[in-house]
Structure 1
Amino acid sequence: MSSPGRLRDGEAAGWSTTPHAWVAWWAAALVVIFFLASASVWLAPPQSSVAAWWPASGVAVALALWTRRDRLPLTVLGIAVVTTLANVWGGRSWETAVGFGVANACEVVVVAWFYRGASAPPGFSRLPDLGRLVLAAAAGAGAAAVVAGVTVAGLDPSAFVTMRAVFASHAAAILIIVPMTMAHPPARGHAPRQELVVQSVVLALVVGAVFGTKGELPLAFAPMPVLVWGAARFGVRIAAAQLLLSGVAMSLLTTAGRGPFPFAVERLDYPPETVGTLLQAVLVASALVSLPVALLTDELAASLTRARTSAETLEGVMEAATQTAIITTDLVGNVTSFNAGAENLLGWTAADVVGHATPAWWHDADQLDLRSAEAGLEPGLRVLVEPLEGGSASDRRDWVWRTRAGEELIVSLRVSPRHDAEGRRIGWLGIAEDVTRNRRAEQVLRSALDREREAGQRLVELDRAKTDFIASVSHELRTPMTSVIGNLEMLLDDSLGATTPAQRLALQRTDRNARRLLMMLEELLLLSRVEDGTFDLRVRRTDLVEIVEQALHTLDVARGRSGVDVELHAPGEQVELDADAEQVERAVMNLVSNALKFTPAGGRVDIRVRDEGATVSVSVGDTGVGIAPEDVDRLFDRFYRAPSAVREAVPGTGLGLSIVRAIAERHHGSVTVDSRPGEGSTFTLRLPATQGDESTPA
């Protein structure tokens, strides 16, 4: 059995595809174990209670490691049965055969325990994998030896010899056979095929020469250097295969009475079991020497491949980065590599600078000196790496470079240390990108933003000056306008003498316009107080219904002149709130006056007062011309008049709704509008029923 690579548990060799396929593989493996065990019994040395070699042990362990965990009990039972039958067929008694069958089963259970939770088959690619296999083989062979010793204790007084022979033969079988069945890393070409052929021929000649003749005992280890040669040059796959083949050859020749061990045991009058013990000791030693070398060879080859791949990848990246400069230096700043991007950026070639230059060639000297002085360092290149000497992984800053042609560039340079395999710092790596265009664009943008900020500040100052001017002018005009209106009232009352009907008509028109002008001045002053934060409320507990009624009474003349039907819908009881009654009345008057202006004669205005618990509201709905959707968001801006109002020559200043919003917000309330062109509009003033402590009490 050979493994094509690491597979999921139970999927090896297709065993888990269908139950029938798994049973076929399982049965075939048990047949192999049966014949190997039978052959080992038949070829056991004369007068020996154990076989000189026991490859069935290695195959049994391999079968267990390739078996899914839930099927392992059935596999252990099958191994116990076939090894028992093999011992009986080989001529041993049922008592001895059952004992050896149990020994094989115990061995498999112990080794499987070491690999609990591992995939099937487990991997064999690193030294820890070999250590795990050695421990498992020793524990499993030890368990088999103990059970075998107990089995023969009543038949042979030298039970210890049996235990020693069983331990050696089983441990050797596991170490030689099982690595061949484990998952190996991909094969890598460590040496030419011709060398493999030569080494294999030499190994065959050495094994044949030593174990095919009556060799001397010290020559038993002669194949070991050849096995190590193969392990060092060809890796774990070849090493495991050669170890298995040479072990089989040595075992067959030794069982046939050839090689150094049978003659040495006969000459020294040792028990016949000693032949197998010595043979398996040599095999175990060969495995423990060649397999580590093979694993280290594979690991070294894999490391070299990764290093070569990384180097090729790095070289490819450096050459592909045609717009990015990648430069490496040693610790003192001598350039050691200079990629195509650096050549394109600076105009020098790698041949010009590698080994001949430092970054001082292209760094602006004045900037280096300035930053060295800022960092308190001697002028020079040390300022480039000074931030990294405290342990930082990298440092990124903008620097000024000068090309070979003298052109000035601004680059974003990231500097980081370079280390060798032992972690020692060996130099510096710089990666730079040309950001000249970006930085200049950023400078232009910053300048534009600064100019815009200055312009905005000037606009704020102009707006403040305008507000102050309006407030000042309004204040100065209010006093003479009050005097004008007072004199007009005396003229209309005939206090200064009787007037003719024509004079009275002229005086009445003048009085109306004067009052309109005074109201405009009051509104401008109010907005000025809102903007400069001096708009205080005289809050008291008041009745909203009464406020609305007073506003309607003030607008009696305008209502009568408009020809619009105005109706108030209010609760029968008071709707109380904390508010400045005068300002709320002004807001209601502005809403109603606005509705009257934009509602044709014969139309209707409905005013609804509601008590909503925590808030109270006044809604003014009309059946007028309505408001276009694009004008709704600007209705509450100062001096804004909708195009329809301008087109229809509706009188107004555009201040009324902005004053309503200011009064609402000062009361912590709001004003909203719902309008459809041609169907009318509804303005809703919503105020809290109670005010906090921010308002000025009456």
Structure 2
Amino acid sequence: MLWWAAALVVVFFLASASVWLAPPQSSVAAWWPASGVAVALALWTRRDRLPLTVLGIAVVTTLANIWGGRPWETAVGFGVANACEVVVVASFYRGASTPPGFSRLPDLGRLVLAAACGAGAAAVVAGVTVAGLDPSASVTMRAVFASHAAAILIIVPMTMAHLPTRGHASRQELVVQSVVLALVVGAVFGTKGELPLAFAPMPVLVWGAARFGVRIAAAQLLLSGIAMSLLTTAGRGPFPYAVASLDYPPETVGTLLQAALVASALVSLPVALLTDELAASLTRARTSAETLEGVMEAATQTAIITTDPVGNVTSFNAGAENLLGWTAADVVGHATPAWWHDADQLDRRASEAGMAPGLRVLVAPLEGDSASDRRDWVWRTRTGEELIVSLRVSPRHDAEGRRIGWLGIAEDVTRNRRAEQVLRSALDRERDAGQRLVELDRAKTDFIASVSHELRTPMTSVIGNLEMLLDDSLGATSPAQRLALQRTDRNARRLLMMLEELLLLSRVEDGTFDLRVRRTDLVEVVEQALHTLDVARGRSGVEVEIHAPGEQVELDADAEQVERAVMNLVSNALKFTPAGGRVDIRVRDEGATVSVSVSDTGVGIAPKDVDRLFDRFYRAPSAVREAVPGTGLGLSIVRAIAERHHGSVTVDSRPGQGSTFTVRLPTTQGDEPAPA
């Protein structure tokens, strides 16, 4: 609050001095700098303290007028005029920063408008105070308006934030310009100057504004305004003599002086702001240019080349020098991109695009709405080496949007493209090899199916003859002969089952695996599968038990294929469960689905082998190591049968703790079974 109180003290003494220095017989002062300081104080005050500031300004200006010898009624009116002025000006900066900035022309426009409105409000209140709206009050109003507006325009800019500073002019020039300004002000306002010379300081002020920026211009405006006001108040300068000779009211002296100060402010401040903005823009442009140049030179592995509209090279960075072998001095102003582009490629692409050979093919895609074009091109270096580059071409435009040339940015992708070609060739070879493998697999499948089909008929005949021998239809056999025949029958049936499995997988692969679906009791199917495996169960020494509901578990299924799936699961469990172990078969009715689970207490399956269990011909390493008989087809057949019934098969196993395989099938098949 100390600075706030100090500012009010300054307002008081400035107002008092202005009253004491007012021209004789004048109802108002020639200049009222207190209004400029008061407005600056308001703009520096926080919004919540503005009412207190306005009240303080009204009080101190009233006291200053009383101390200067004015009647208290007039003093109060002038105090209210000053307060109204502050309120009006502050309203223009509602929502702005504290203090507001002053660095652009719109900032000056706002200040001029605020000063005009604020000074106008003060002039109206002062006119009412002096004459109660009597016509003669217009002189007072003009004088108050001019003095207050001039004070605001000259003093307030010095107190605003963000005043640009510019240091491109020398100190010597500033000294010379300041001396010239002082001499001109002294010569015009320190003597009985002629009225036309009243505006002689203006060109010097414009000189300072153009060369030294807003801060210096505002300071020189303030100092020259103080000097001109003091000299005019002392009766010097062109205005007192002109007013006296023309017999105008004394207030006219102040009006003319302040009009001259306002004119100086309205000329020099815009010049200062404009030149500052131009200087800032030039600095930004120069910085951008230096940054761009630095980026271009730092890109030692990327060629950045610019040309004019017809293709003449205008810049050639270090990356281009490194790639092509020419220097910028060799190329800029002397060459076109035809120097390094492969001529045959240019001609070929021009022919493909249906245009005449030449550099136009490089920019043809940009003749529409495209912002840039990126393609691979062949370049030849100064030594004749061939490069493949990825080149992005973009148009360059000036500030008015006119095309002024082209920008090309290229990277050497020779190694990448050749590596891609090698990869493509390898991929093509892999694709061909894969196709051949598919064909070989198809041929193998066809061969297996054909051989299996051809072997099935004689095997059926062999089994039939063995049955006749075993039931003594062809004569009695000795016990030794019967034992041999039984062994032969068992192996023949095993071979026939293997042929059936091969034929089944063949039908699955070629899409001819059809089901004979009918209403089936799953419990009966499981029991039939176990009956078929009775011999294997007896030999294995493994206890097998069925856990099933006491009633039928029905579903729509191909009973023969479901039985085959159960047989394969139980057979697998018997193979991998040592003697004395146990196999449990559980049949469950789950509502919309039924399931068969086959659990054993065997060796279990390693986690890494689980994902491949259902692949054709896959046998776990433990099965191979222990020489467990099998073809690796059983589980793949189980999955094929389950999926053909719209079902699934899952496995849960831990090494050393056994395995559980579960087949889950829907109770109804709908209109069609799942495709094979």
Could you state the TM-score of these two structures normalised by the residue count of structure 1?
Answer: 0.95
Aligned residues with identical type, % of pairs: 94
Structure 1 stretch 298-307 or stretch 568-577: which is displaced more?
Answer: 568-577
Q: Deviations over 1:623-650 (max 9, x none)?
A: 1111122222221111122222222222
Give the superposition deviation at 1:532. 1.0
2-structure distance, mates of 1:564, 1:453: 49
**Structure 2 stretches of 5 or more lacking a match?**
none
Q: Deviations over 1:193-238 (max 9, x none)?
A: 1000000001011111111112111111111111011011111111
Contact map agreement 1:538 1:695 (CA 8 A) in 2: no
Contact map agreement 2:309 2:406 (CA 8 A) in 1: yes
Contact map agreement 1:419 1:425 (CA 8 A) in 2: yes
1-structure distance, mates of 2:319, 2:643: 63
Of 475, 482, 503 in structure 1, the residue corresponding to residue 453 of structure 2 is: 475
Give the superposition deviation at 1:574. 2.3
Give the superposition deviation at 1:540. 2.1
Of 220, 240, 245 in structure 2, the residue corresponding to residue 267 of structure 1 is: 245
Contact map agreement 2:645 2:674 (CA 8 A) in 1: no
Partner of 2:272: 294
Structure 1 stretch 168-177 or stretch 66-75: which is displaced more?
Answer: 66-75
Q: Deviations over 1:576-624 (max 9, x none)?
A: 2222221111111111111111111211111111122222211111111
Contact map agreement 2:127 2:133 (CA 8 A) in 1: no
Are residues 445 and 547 of structure 1, via their aligned partners in 2, closer, same or farther at CA, if it must alter by over 3 Å? same
Contact map agreement 1:536 1:696 (CA 8 A) in 2: no
2-structure distance, mates of 1:155, 1:617: 109
2-structure distance, mates of 1:193, 1:692: 100
Contact map agreement 1:394 1:415 (CA 8 A) in 2: yes
Give the superposition deviation at 1:471. 0.7
Give the superposition deviation at 1:310. 1.5
Give the superposition deviation at 1:155. 9.4
Tell me the SS of whatever aligns to 2:45: coil
Partner of 2:182: 204
Partner of 1:32: 10
Contact map agreement 1:539 1:696 (CA 8 A) in 2: no
2-structure distance, mates of 1:622, 1:73: 94
2-structure distance, mates of 1:86, 1:393: 69
2-structure distance, mates of 1:444, 1:78: 87
Tell me the SS of whatever aligns to 1:122: coil
Give the superposition deviation at 1:571. 1.6
Give the superposition deviation at 1:105. 1.4
Give the superposition deviation at 1:134. 0.8
Give the superposition deviation at 1:426. 1.4
Are residues 251 and 156 of structure 1, via their aligned partners in 2, closer, same or farther at CA, if it must alter by over 3 Å? farther
Contact map agreement 2:644 2:674 (CA 8 A) in 1: no
Contact map agreement 1:672 1:683 (CA 8 A) in 2: yes
2-structure distance, mates of 1:106, 1:185: 27
1-structure distance, mates of 2:667, 2:38: 93
1-structure distance, mates of 2:39, 2:658: 95
Q: Deviations over 1:255-292 (max 9, x none)?
A: 12211111111111111111110000000000000001
2-structure distance, mates of 1:155, 1:679: 114
Contact map agreement 1:540 1:697 (CA 8 A) in 2: no
Give the superposition deviation at 1:690. 2.2
Structure 1 stretch 335-344 or stretch 404-413: which is displaced more?
Answer: 335-344
2-structure distance, mates of 1:40, 1:558: 128
2-structure distance, mates of 1:157, 1:333: 76
Partner of 1:451: 429
Give the superposition deviation at 1:420. 2.3
Contact map agreement 2:36 2:155 (CA 8 A) in 1: yes
Q: Deviations over 1:502-522 (max 9, x none)?
A: 111111110000000000000
2-structure distance, mates of 1:79, 1:608: 101
Give the superposition deviation at 1:379. 0.6
Give the superposition deviation at 1:186. 4.1
Are residues 382 and 185 of structure 1, via their aligned partners in 2, closer, same or farther at CA, if it must alter by over 3 Å? farther
Tell me the SS of whatever aligns to 2:661: strand
Tell me the SS of whatever aligns to 2:517: strand
Are residues 694 and 170 of structure 1, via their aligned partners in 2, closer, same or farther at CA, if it must alter by over 3 Å? same
Structure 1 stretch 495-504 or stretch 385-394: which is displaced more?
Answer: 385-394
Structure 1 stretch 316-325 or stretch 503-512: which is displaced more?
Answer: 316-325
Structure 1 stretch 172-181 or stretch 564-573: which is displaced more?
Answer: 564-573
Structure 1 stretch 343-352 or stretch 359-368: which is displaced more?
Answer: 343-352
Tell me the SS of whatever aligns to 1:379: coil
- Count of residues paired in the alignment: 676
1:523 correspondence with 2:517: no
Of 208, 212, 224 in structure 1, the residue corresponding to residue 202 of structure 2 is: 224
Give the superposition deviation at 1:156. 6.7
Contact map agreement 1:538 1:696 (CA 8 A) in 2: no
Of 587, 601, 604 in structure 2, the residue corresponding to residue 623 of structure 1 is: 601
Are residues 600 and 497 of structure 1, via their aligned partners in 2, closer, same or farther at CA, if it must alter by over 3 Å? same
Are residues 540 and 97 of structure 1, via their aligned partners in 2, closer, same or farther at CA, if it must alter by over 3 Å? farther
Q: Deviations over 1:382-434 (max 9, x none)?
A: 11111112232111111111111111111111111122233221111111111
Contact map agreement 1:219 1:260 (CA 8 A) in 2: yes
Contact map agreement 2:373 2:393 (CA 8 A) in 1: yes
Q: Deviations over 1:440-476 (max 9, x none)?
A: 0011111111111111111111111111111111111
Contact map agreement 2:306 2:313 (CA 8 A) in 1: yes
Q: Deviations over 1:657-696 (max 9, x none)?
A: 1111111111122111111121111111111222232229
**Structure 1 stretches of 5 or more lacking a match?**
1-22
Give the superposition deviation at 1:697. 13
2-structure distance, mates of 1:93, 1:325: 83
Tell me the SS of whatever aligns to 1:697: coil
- Alignment RMSD: 1.6
Give the superposition deviation at 1:114. 1.1
Q: Deviations over 1:520-574 (max 9, x none)?
A: 0000111111111111222222222222122122222222222211111112222
Give the superposition deviation at 1:354. 1.5
Contact map agreement 1:110 1:139 (CA 8 A) in 2: yes
Tell me the SS of whatever aligns to 2:389: strand
Structure 1 stretch 408-417 or stretch 62-71: which is displaced more?
Answer: 62-71
Give the superposition deviation at 1:242. 0.2
Contact map agreement 2:36 2:148 (CA 8 A) in 1: yes
Contact map agreement 1:196 1:234 (CA 8 A) in 2: yes
Give the superposition deviation at 1:575. 2.0
Structure 1 stretch 276-285 or stretch 45-54: which is displaced more?
Answer: 45-54
Q: Deviations over 1:46-101 (max 9, x none)?
A: 22211111111111111111122222222222212221222222222222222111
Contact map agreement 1:184 1:237 (CA 8 A) in 2: no
Of 110, 128, 138 in structure 1, the residue corresponding to residue 116 of structure 2 is: 138
Give the superposition deviation at 1:103. 1.3
Partner of 2:32: 54
Are residues 100 and 645 of structure 1, via their aligned partners in 2, closer, same or farther at CA, if it must alter by over 3 Å? same
Give the superposition deviation at 1:39. 1.2
Contact map agreement 1:33 1:60 (CA 8 A) in 2: yes
Tell me the SS of whatever aligns to 1:49: coil
2-structure distance, mates of 1:277, 1:423: 49
Contact map agreement 1:605 1:622 (CA 8 A) in 2: yes
Give the superposition deviation at 1:185. 4.6
Structure 1 stretch 138-147 or stretch 276-285: which is displaced more?
Answer: 138-147
2-structure distance, mates of 1:125, 1:433: 44
2-structure distance, mates of 1:529, 1:35: 113
Are residues 696 and 282 of structure 1, via their aligned partners in 2, closer, same or farther at CA, if it must alter by over 3 Å? closer
Give the superposition deviation at 1:113. 1.4
Give the superposition deviation at 1:311. 1.6
1-structure distance, mates of 2:510, 2:133: 118
2-structure distance, mates of 1:261, 1:248: 15
Partner of 1:677: 655
Structure 1 stretch 627-636 or stretch 169-178: which is displaced more?
Answer: 627-636
Could you state the TM-score of these two structures normalised by the residue count of structure 2?
Answer: 0.98
2-structure distance, mates of 1:681, 1:451: 42
Q: Deviations over 1:470-504 (max 9, x none)?
A: 11111111111001100110111111111111111
Tell me the SS of whatever aligns to 1:124: coil
Contact map agreement 2:646 2:673 (CA 8 A) in 1: no
Are residues 185 and 518 of structure 1, via their aligned partners in 2, closer, same or farther at CA, if it must alter by over 3 Å? farther
2-structure distance, mates of 1:502, 1:90: 152
Structure 1 stretch 338-347 or stretch 273-282: which is displaced more?
Answer: 338-347
Structure 1 stretch 328-337 or stretch 228-237: which is displaced more?
Answer: 328-337
1:538 correspondence with 2:516: yes
Contact map agreement 1:319 1:341 (CA 8 A) in 2: yes
Contact map agreement 1:538 1:697 (CA 8 A) in 2: no
Tell me the SS of whatever aligns to 2:520: strand
2-structure distance, mates of 1:405, 1:590: 74
